[in-house]
Structure formats: C-alpha cells, structure tokens
Copies of this chain bind each other. A is one copy, B any other.
Amino acid sequence: MSNTFGKIFSLTSFGESHGRGVGGIIDGCPAGIELDIPFIQNELNRRKPGQSNLTTSRDEADAVEFFSGVFDGKTTGTPIAFSIWNAKQRSGDYDSMKELYRPSHADYTYQLKYGIRDKRGGGRSSARETIARVVTGSIAKLALKQLGIKVTAYTSQVGPFQLDKDYSAYDFNEIEQNPVRCPDPEMAGKMAALITEVKTKGDTIGGVVTCVIKGVPVGLGEPVFYKLHATLGAAMLSINAVKGFEYGSGFDVNHLGSAVNDVFYSKNGEIRTRSNNSGGIQGGISNGEDIYFRVAFKPVATILKNQHTVDTSGNEIEFKAHGRHDPCVLPRAVPVVEAMAAIVLLDMYLLSKTNKLSQ
C-alpha cells in the first residue's frame, strides 16, 4: 500500500501526468465536515501551473470532481473519491524523450523497478501527483479549522536569497501578496527577479519552504516510531524534489545543551516554554508551542538546455527538453507542504483520541 498515506485519515492516490487524471480516495475522514468547495478549489489554484510568470505557462483548469462520501454537502464518514481530469495532454512534448533516461528524473529507476513505465511525461513520478495531496490537505484543513489549528507555509529561500529572521518576525498576510509566496516583500522581489533570470536561461533553481503550525493542542504524535516530527518529515520527504527536512533547531547544532533547552514556565495557569528550539515537539509529542519546520527543494530536473544522457539501449546521447516547465518549484510547493502537514496533524489528532478510554 505504498500509495496510501495516513493511519486513520488517509489518502490513497492515483494518476499519471498524461493519463486520464490524478486523484485519490480519502478514507477515515470524520463525518460531518462541511465540504467547502470554493476553499478546496482555491487551494488547488494556489498549486496549479500558469498562475504567474514565475511558474510554467501550462494553464490547467485543475477543477476537482468528487464522486462519493459526501451527502448534503457534508462528509459522511465513507470514502471520498475524487479526480482532477487531465485536460491538456500535450504528450507530444515528450515523444522525443520516450526512449531516453532524463538526468535526475525517475525514468531509469521506474523502468528497472517495474520493467515497464508510462513514458508520457513523468508518468507517476510527475509532480502533478501532488494535486491529490492538495485536495486531501484542504479537507484536512477544514477539519483542523474546527479544532483551532492553522497551517501556514511560505518560501523562505530561493537560491542564495534566504530570510534571516525567525518566522515570528514576518507578517503572514504578506505571503499570498506576491507570486513567490515569501512574507518579506523586498526579499520576494529579489527571489522573483532571480527566478525570472534563471527561466530566461532555460535553467532552474531550488530553495526552502518554511512551515508553521499554530494552535496545536498538547499530546499529538505517537511515539516511538510515529513521533510527530518523524511523520511530518516522512510526509514532506515524500513530496517530489524534496531533499531535506529539519524542525526546531534542526541542523544548527553548534550550541550547548544549556543554551538550547526550552525552559518551562507558568503563564496564566498554563505551562509554556520560554524558548522554542524544540519546534513545538518534545519526545515526538506536541507540547502546545508553535510547530515549525523547513523543507529543502532541489532545482527542477527538467531544464531547457542541452544535456548528455543515455538512451534506453544504453547509448550515450545528447538531447534538449522542450515544453513548458517551472524554473522554480517553490511558489507552487507552498500549498503542497501545507497540505501534507494538515493531513498529518488531522491524522495525529484522530489517533490521539484513542490514547485514553474516554476523553
């Protein structure tokens, strides 16, 4: 069941870039959640290509159709199946690449693993698969909203341009005000200029998405193997092009324990920590502070430049990709990161209801 994510609230996804569509089945969704279709569609629009000149110019409708699990506008507790049909199938763009292994793509590994692969575009390894995650995540968000939990992600680095302050220094309302989805307007401008420059060259660039989750109650996360951060990490690392995950103090390891420890204190009868190097998670369980983490994305592998590679017979060749591709995946990755985080949080919330006999 490698295409299923989540233990209670779970997504089983399907679809290839140039097949009939991509979609999935959401199982274990609590009954009675009002399905806010415009909200779901808006989340999809944040992910879809063609939304700005920083992304690929492919203009896909990406309208979601629900097949089941909803009655009178509410979830019924039964499986919610959905699809986003692939509208424009310009697989001709890929015809010339059917018989070669594109560098840093999954063509070669899929072919050897399965002995067969869908040669149209990225097939199953296409980032188009993340559509199913965004739909599912948007429904998770609708449930989390009732619990007072809010997930917000933003672009914090593109190439060399990196936000240097803690997330609390930024106004999250700025995020959707620019096409890069960076809360610092000045930095957003620099990032946008860089992406445009890279695009002109037919090249690509990577970066980092930061995600912050507020309003999480104490007690989410299932030790020892499904610690909250381990599950968030697994979720993020399963997104196309992700190369790294860190939460709280992360890879910034050059500090003494006495400097990093988060001291508890009492605030209006509530137990809180003075610092938050733990990133809101201790022993794998949420401690009521903000959860925050960072996700590294590599540059998109498809570049519009000559590259060397081998064909499927093993001959070395030179080729150049055509078509429309993202110069930088970061802006469109933001809603995907949020979606996966929302799925994890809702699943962990539901699991936590089983920790005691009555609650």
Question: Using a CB-CB cutoff of 8 Å, which residues 235-265 of chain A contact chain B?
Answer: 237-238, 243-251, 253-258, 260-265
Tally of contact residues, A, Cβ under 8 A: 153
The answer to whether the Cβ of A14 comes within 8 Å of any Cβ in the partner chain is yes
The answer to whether the Cβ of A287 comes within 8 Å of any Cβ in the partner chain is yes
Question: Using a CB-CB cutoff of 8 Å, which residues 192-224 of chain A contact chain B?
Answer: 198, 201, 203-208, 218-219, 221-224
Chain B nearest CB from A74 CB (Å) reads 6
Q: Which residues of B contact A160 (CB under 8 A)?
A: 254
A76 touches which of B13, B108, B114 (Cβ 8 Å) = B114
When the two chains form their complex, are residues B298 and A114 in contact, meaning their CB atoms are under 8 A apart?
A: no
Chain B nearest CB from A57 CB (Å) reads 18
Chain B nearest CB from A182 CB (Å) reads 14
Number of copies: 4
Chain B nearest CB from A129 CB (Å) reads 6
When the two chains form their complex, are residues A3 and B79 in contact, meaning their CB atoms are under 8 A apart?
A: yes
The answer to whether the Cβ of A141 comes within 8 Å of any Cβ in the partner chain is no
Q: Which of A46-54, A165-173, A299-307 contacts B (4 or more CB under 8 A)?
A: A299-307
When the two chains form their complex, are residues A238 and B230 in contact, meaning their CB atoms are under 8 A apart?
A: yes
When the two chains form their complex, are residues B12 and A251 in contact, meaning their CB atoms are under 8 A apart?
A: no
Q: With the chains together, A307 CA to B264 CA distance in Å?
A: 10
When the two chains form their complex, are residues A13 and B310 in contact, meaning their CB atoms are under 8 A apart?
A: no
Q: Which of A37-45, A276-284, A331-339 contacts B (4 or more CB under 8 A)?
A: A276-284
Chain A 265-289 interface 0/1 with B at a Cβ cutoff of 8 Å (1 = within) = 1100101010001110011111100
Closest residue of chain B to A2, judged by CB?
A: B222
When the two chains form their complex, are residues A113 and B307 in contact, meaning their CB atoms are under 8 A apart?
A: no
Q: With the chains together, A143 CA to B108 CA distance in Å?
A: 25
When the two chains form their complex, are residues B116 and A71 in contact, meaning their CB atoms are under 8 A apart?
A: yes
The answer to whether the Cβ of A184 comes within 8 Å of any Cβ in the partner chain is no
Q: With the chains together, A296 CA to B229 CA distance in Å?
A: 13
Question: Using a CB-CB cutoff of 8 Å, which residues 51-71 of chain A contact chain B?
Answer: 65-69, 71
Q: Which residues of B contact A358 (CB under 8 A)?
A: 146
With A125-B223, A266-B315: A1-B7 Cβ-Cβ less than 8 Å: yes
Q: Which residues of B contact A310 (CB under 8 A)?
A: 264-266, 271
Chain B nearest CB from A105 CB (Å) reads 7
With A243-B246, A303-B261: A4-B4 Cβ-Cβ less than 8 Å: yes
| Known interface pairs A1-B27, A3-B223, A30-B357; 10 further A-B residue pairs with C-beta atoms within 8 A, sorted by A's residue number | A4-B27, A14-B69, A31-B355, A32-B356, A159-B254, A227-B238, A243-B249, A253-B299, A261-B307, A266-B315
